[in-house]
Amino acid sequence: MALIETVRAERLEKIARLKDAGMDSYPARTGRTHTVGEFLENHETLEENSEQIVLAGRIMSLREHGGSLFVDIFDGTKGQCFLQRDKLGESSYDLFINTIDAGDVVEFAGSAFKTKRGQPSLGVSGWRILAKSLRPLPDEWYGIKDEDERYRKRYLDILLSKDLVGRIRRRSKFWNVIRSYLLERDFIEVETPVLETTTGGAEARPFMTHHNALDIDVYLRISVGELWQKRLIVAGLPKVFEIGRVFRNEGMSAEHAQDYTAMEFYESFKDYEAGKEMIVDLYRTIADKIYGTRIFSVRDFAIDLDKEWKNYDFCALMQEAYGFDPRANDITIENLQQLLEKENISMPEVPEVGRLVDLLWKKIRKGLIGPGFLINVPVYLEPLAKKSAKDPRVVERFQVMIAGSEIGKGFSELNDPVDQAERFKRQQQLREAGDEEAQMPDAEFVEALEYGMPPAFGFGVSERLFSFLEGVSIREGQIFPLMRPR
């Protein structure tokens, strides 16, 4: 820290020198005529025409050779500028040498030429500082190695890492591929409330805040407007979707973040069986357009999205692993607790059949490679999906299984208001028993269903899919992950 303060003091003195020379260290405007990328792409023509060019960028390195200086600048693309004392002029050259450091943002005027080694460069005839850096950049070659420091100073991590820049570009493309896919199929992109008086659409502990103007407590949403989007289905909009932030006040892991981006869509007159084909096509489209391959290595699993997707039967897998049918009416908390103890699985704060069954399921899940669909989940595990016509003890829901994790969920939407009210009632009982992740009843949503909602298929996926395809944790896949203040 002492070294940084010494450097900072030295650079403040350099700002004073620049001021004495009549140069503002933080001007508002630049005379840039070309980006570095444009300069390199058109270098031959620019050199032939002897055009005057102005480039601007951050100085990444300086290499002095007698009375000349090679400077690498970066504006998203790296380029080289060449300064010579006899061509630039002694006073201008010396001012540059004595006041400019790696990290400064500088504008260079000059003409295009190639070095003896054939490298396209700018022969500098003038320069002007655009922003003086007061702190030294980390070494460009080694970057920042400490993970905590990388996340706190993500701007430096991005500046020094081509891989991270590439990931940010792919992240943008990821959501735009999904957006384009849906828009091409006549879906309407909508925006639904982020602040809610009742959270819905998922089982999670919400963040709460106070709305001063209305003098009420409100919650940050835990889903991408599921119950709002289904109101739009009631309203007669046949296909809707939203991409936005979701907030869940729960644990952190390689797969879980507290605020993240997700997408949900809803389509009238379609069920979850018809939806499966669409989701396979969507995931393959994402893989093709962003990565140019359908084969990925995720958690040491070889995942091939091109092969036929399996169906994994939840009840059959549970019966095979633990010897009981999760649809049965005689399941007891005591028996489930014994199984959890046997499997060395920690008990939840509120022992309830659904929570205990889900914990047992998560152990099985880790071994499912996929890609595939988890189906036949008991009704008590999904309060918003329609019951199966073949077996009313399970719901018409699937979860996309990839590399031992759930990477997307879709179901035939529950549109029976009486059934929905009963399931909300059950969730309220769980909340009263102390389960903060149980869903809140939404009487206004039930009222909307009473006006009649057509059969519909709904699906949601979060940025967990992106992090899996990238082969990184969800925090590493985010641009600015949340950090505890120092």
Write out pLDDT tens, residues 99-142. 999 999 999 999 999 998 999 999 999 999 999 999 999 876 56
Q: Which fold has domain 2-137?
A: OB fold (Dihydrolipoamide Acetyltransferase, E2P) (2.40.50)
Mean pLDDT, to the nearest integer, of 272-281?
A: 97
Q: What residue ranges do the domains of the chain occupy?
A: 2-137, 158-309+370-477
Please state, in angstroms and rounded to a whole number, the distance separating the CA atoms of residues 30 and 57: 11
**pLDDT reported for residue 446:** 97
Q: What is the mean pLDDT of residues 330-347?
A: 90
What pLDDT does 108 receive? Answer: 98
What average pLDDT does this structure show over 3-26? 95
Kindly state the helix (H) or strand (E) to which residue 473 belongs, with its residue range.
Answer: none
Q: Is the pLDDT of residue 335 over 80?
A: yes
Half-sphere exposure of 85 (CA within 13 A, CB side): 10
Looking at domain 158-309+370-477, which of 3.40.50.11540, 3.90.740.10, 3.30.930.10, 3.30.1540.10 is its CATH number?
3.30.930.10
Give the strand pairing for 105-114 and 188-189. unpaired
* Beta-ladder partners of 384: none
Can you say how many angstroms the Cα of residue 476 is from the centroid of all Cα atoms in its chain?
Answer: 9
Cβ–Cβ under 8 Å, residues 75 and 35: yes
Lowest mean pLDDT among 55-64, 325-334, 342-351, 356-365: 342-351
What percent of the chain lies above the pLDDT cut of 90? 86
Residue 347's pLDDT band (boundaries 50, 70, 90)? confident
Burial (0-12, 13-18, 19+ Cβ within 10 Å), 478: buried
What are the φ/ψ torsions at residue 416 (nearest 5 degrees)?
-90, 110
Nearby residues of 203 by Cβ (< 8 Å), 6 or more positions away: 437, 438, 439
Strand partners, 59: 73
Residue 330, Cα to own-chain centre: how many angstroms?
A: 42
Q: What is the pLDDT of residues 173-209, one digit of tens each?
A: 999 999 999 999 999 999 999 999 999 988 899 999 9
In Å, the largest CA–CA distance within the chain is 92
Q: d(Cα 423, Cα 378) in Å, to the nearest integer?
A: 13
Separation between Cα atoms, residue 79 and residue 37, nearest integer Å: 8
Report how far residue 70's alpha carbon sits from residue 386's, in angstroms, rounded to the nearest whole number.
68
Q: What is the pLDDT of residues 204-255, one digit of tens each?
A: 999 999 999 999 999 999 999 999 999 999 999 999 999 999 999 988 888 9
Across residues 407-412, what is the average pLDDT? Answer: 97
Cα–Cα distance measured from residue 15 to residue 100, given in angstroms and rounded to the nearest whole number: 9
| Candidate ranges 7-11, 143-147, 328-332; pick with highest mean pLDDT | 7-11
pLDDT at 92: 96
Top-confidence residue, 109 or 330: 109
Q: pLDDT digit string (tens) for 255-264?
A: 999 999 999 9
What share of the chain in percent tops pLDDT 70?
99
Q: 365, 344, 417: which is closest to 386 by C-alpha? A: 417
* Residue 237 pLDDT: 98
Name which of 222-226, 296-300, 346-350, 375-379 the model is least confident about: 346-350
Question: Per-residue pLDDT averaged across 400-411, rounded?
Answer: 96
The per-residue pLDDT for range 452-479, each reduced to its tens digit, is 999 999 999 999 999 999 999 999 999 9
- For the purposes of burial, counting CB atoms within 10 Å of the CB of 459, is it exposed (0-12), middle (13-18) or buried (19 or more)? buried
Over 80: is that where the pLDDT of 392 sits?
yes
Q: pLDDT tens across 134-165, in order?
A: 999 987 656 677 888 899 999 999 999 889 99
pLDDT of residue 141: 57
Predicted confidence at residue 437, as pLDDT, reads 87
**Domain 2-137 matches domain 158-309+370-477 at the CATH topology level:** no
Q: Which pLDDT does position 405 carry in this prediction?
A: 95
> What's the pLDDT tens digit per position in 38-54?
999 999 999 999 999 99
Number of Cβ atoms within 10 Å of the Cβ of 117: 6
